[in-house]
């Protein structure tokens, strides 16, 4: 009995000594282990993690022609067809014909043109801005009703007062694909989003937009939406808002 107790006691002592030695010799936790432990511990008291802010795609109308988010394409005409924006002004920038645009788009164009000139010493001009239903009828007729390049009256973004065609001050490559290789063409492709503009008819996306590459045509959508498109890499309004591709009229 005594012997058995002594043996048991010795075993307990040996185990305890081993445990103490192990604890003392154990290497200190690495910074990574500490960080992991801290994260685990601090995450526990908060049952609901802070949600990642999501962009509210329903915040503004995509149907109302006065909405900065209105989507106009071959399946989505300006509604009503006689629509005329209520806040048209003339942007204070060089223009071939008129610089008439909706007020927020006009102010954004002025800021964008000024930034371009400040950065490059070069200048740009408006090739085209707001176009009424009647003017669009003329433009469409003059294009020989070319649906690949020109919108039918009532289906043009230019009627919203939010679309601009931009060319170099020299007029080089005006409304031509070679505009993409000019200094303003390159600068706009990289920077227009910061001023709330979207290159609306990108290269290779004709099956979605219905138009061939137009490196000169920019659509004002506001800085918030433009930044979200830039961040997510989504190139068209149709894809962003989950709308059907609009290659052709119905
Ligand atoms: Zn245009």
pLDDT tens-digit readout, 92-105 = 999 999 999 999 99
CB 206 within 8 A of CB 176: no
Closest C-alpha to 85, from 64, 70, 102: 102
Query: 232 in a domain, yes or no?
Result: yes
CA of 29 to the centre of ligand 1 (A): 63
- Kindly state whether residue 118 falls inside one of the protein's structural domains: yes
Cα separation, 46 vs 42, in Å, equals 8
Cα 46 to averaged position of ligand 1 atoms, centre (Å):
52
pLDDT of residue 161: 98
Q: Are residues 234 and 123 in the same domain?
A: yes
7 plus 102 within the same structural domain: no
Residue 48 lies in a domain: no
User: Is residue 146, in this structure, part of any structural domain at all?
Assistant: yes
Q: Do 135 and 192 reside in the same domain of the chain? A: yes
Per-residue pLDDT at 1: 45
User: So what's the pLDDT on residue 32?
Assistant: 45
E strands, the chain, where?
88-90, 100-102, 124-128, 163-168, 197-199, 217-220
Residues 202 and 105 in one domain: yes
Distances from the Cα of 42 to the Cαs of 23, 28, 31, 38, 138, in angstroms?
Answer: 25, 21, 16, 6, 67
Q: What does the pLDDT read at residue 7?
A: 52
Q: Is the dihedral of CA 57, 196, 164, 89 positive or negative?
A: positive
128 C-alpha to center of ligand 1: Å?
Answer: 7
- Structural domain boundaries enclosing 21: 2-43
In a domain, 221, yes or no: yes
Q: Is 207 within a domain?
A: yes
- Name the domain count of the chain: 2
In this prediction, residue 8 carries a pLDDT of 52
Q: What letter does residue 181 receive in the DSSP assignment? A: G
Predicted pLDDT of residue 51 = 72
**Distance of CA 236 from the midpoint of ligand 1 (Å):** 15
**Residues of the chain predicted below pLDDT 70:** 1-47
Q: Using the mean position of ligand 1's atoms as its centre, give its distance from the Cα of residue 36 in Å.
A: 54
Same domain, 115 and 218: yes
Asked whether residue 114 is domain-assigned, the answer is yes
Is residue 76 a part of any domain in this protein? no
Q: Note the pTM of the prediction, 2 decimals.
A: 0.80
pLDDT given at position 83: 98
């Amino acid at each position: 009995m005594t012997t058995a107790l002594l043996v048991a006691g010795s075993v307990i002592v040996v185990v305890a000594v081993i445990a103490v030695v192990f604890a003392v010799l154990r290497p200190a936790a690495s910074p990574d282990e500490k960080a992991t432990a801290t994260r685990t511990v601090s995450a526990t008291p908060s049952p609901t993690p802070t949600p990642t802010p999501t962009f509210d795609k329903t915040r503004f109308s995509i149907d109302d022609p006065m909405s900065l988010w209105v989507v106009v394409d071959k399946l989505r005409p300006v509604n009503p067809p006689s629509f005329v924006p209520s806040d048209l002004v003339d942007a204070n920038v060089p223009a071939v014909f008129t610089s008439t645009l909706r007020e927020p788009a006009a102010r954004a164009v002025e800021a964008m043109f000024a930034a371009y000139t400040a950065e490059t010493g070069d200048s740009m001009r408006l090739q085209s801005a707001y176009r009424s239903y009647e003017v669009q009828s003329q433009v469409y007729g003059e294009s020989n009703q070319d649906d690949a390049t020109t919108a039918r009256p009532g289906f043009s973004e230019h009627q919203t007062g939010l679309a601009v065609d931009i060319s170099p001050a020299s007029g080089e490559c005006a409304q031509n694909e070679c505009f993409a290789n000019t200094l303003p063409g390159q600068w706009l492709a990289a920077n227009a989003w910061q001023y709330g503009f979207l290159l609306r008819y990108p290269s290779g996306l004709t099956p979605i937009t219905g138009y061939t590459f137009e490196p000169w045509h920019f659509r004002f959508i506001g800085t918030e939406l433009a930044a979200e498109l830039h961040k997510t890499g989504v190139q068209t309004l149709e894809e962003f808002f989950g709308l059907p591709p609009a290659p052709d009229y119905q």
